[in-house]
Amino acid sequence: MAASAVRRPKIRLLLSDVDGTLVTHDKKLTERTIAAVARVHAAGITFAVTSGRPARGMSMLVEPLTITEPLAGFNGGQLMSPSGKLLEEHTLPDEIVAALMSTISSHQLDVWVFRGNDWFVRDAHGPHVEREERAVQFSATVVPNFDSFRQQIVKVVGVSDDPAAVEAAESACRSQFGDHVSATRSQTYYLDVTHPLANKGTVVRRLAERLKISRDEIATIGDMANDVLMFAHSGTSIAMGNATREVQRAARYVTTSNEEEGFANAVERYVLGDG
């Protein structure tokens, strides 16, 4: 008698990245994406989001997607309720912040600093500042320098349109600061440096505990290197078609790109099992 097929656990949570995954290149939710999330809810599956963005920068998703779980910003460094209450925050060790900024700057990357709900830059017209302001729907605060920014820093970002420089800065931060930080690229032009517990693998674990479900019952979807850890900690992992080959190899499935309704296609095929 043939052995029966092993059935995968039912998906009870879908955790999605935002930029490059849930939204299009111009940071919009499509009608198909909104409808796909509605179908997820209707199937009894919880929907949650995590991003390198500040939690505040995901608040515009709460109403159209009926989000009830905490928004995991800064790759899990900041948890905020859908109503806007700060629930938890992991900040970088104060003693390494100055050296961290120096290392990032030495690779010719612009530096951004996030503290609480505030975002600080030195140039309002620097690379990607205006684009990011449109995405997160709040403005950066311009400061002459970061000399007074040494405490309660939740994220330091390195910004450059040279992907090789961003990758080199990532390697340097990991080498120099080791277990004191989590350093990952949230876009080819962004290096996110956060507390070591601020990573998307931790987000998966926290949501599993909160919802009292197995990580095998969690599906994750994303497109960048900072999504690989959440792939590793979930039962079903889906990479976007716009992800690099390295990121795609880390996932169980690959969908189409975020410009080709990749999120909605993934929900229909891999989460709800329509196709």
Encode pLDDT of 7-47 as tens digits: 567 999 999 999 999 999 999 999 999 999 999 999 999 99
| Cα–Cα nearest to 159, from 185, 198, 133 | 185
Sequence-ordered strand ranges (E) for the chain: 13-16, 46-49, 71-73, 78-80, 86-89, 110-115, 118-121, 141-142, 155-159, 182-187, 190-194, 218-222, 236-239, 253-254
When pLDDT is averaged across residues 94-112 and rounded to a whole number, the result is 97
When pLDDT is averaged across residues 147-174 and rounded to a whole number, the result is 96
Which of the following CATH numbers is that of domain 94-194: 2.60.120.260, 3.30.1240.10, 3.30.43.10, 3.50.50.60?
3.30.1240.10
Sequence-separated (6 or more) residues with CB below 8 Å from residue 5: none
Fold of 13-88+198-271: Rossmann fold (3.40.50)
Answer yes or no: are the C-beta atoms of 86 and 154 closer than 8 Å.
no
Per the confidence metrics, is the pTM higher than 0.85? yes
Domain ranges of the chain: 13-88+198-271, 94-194
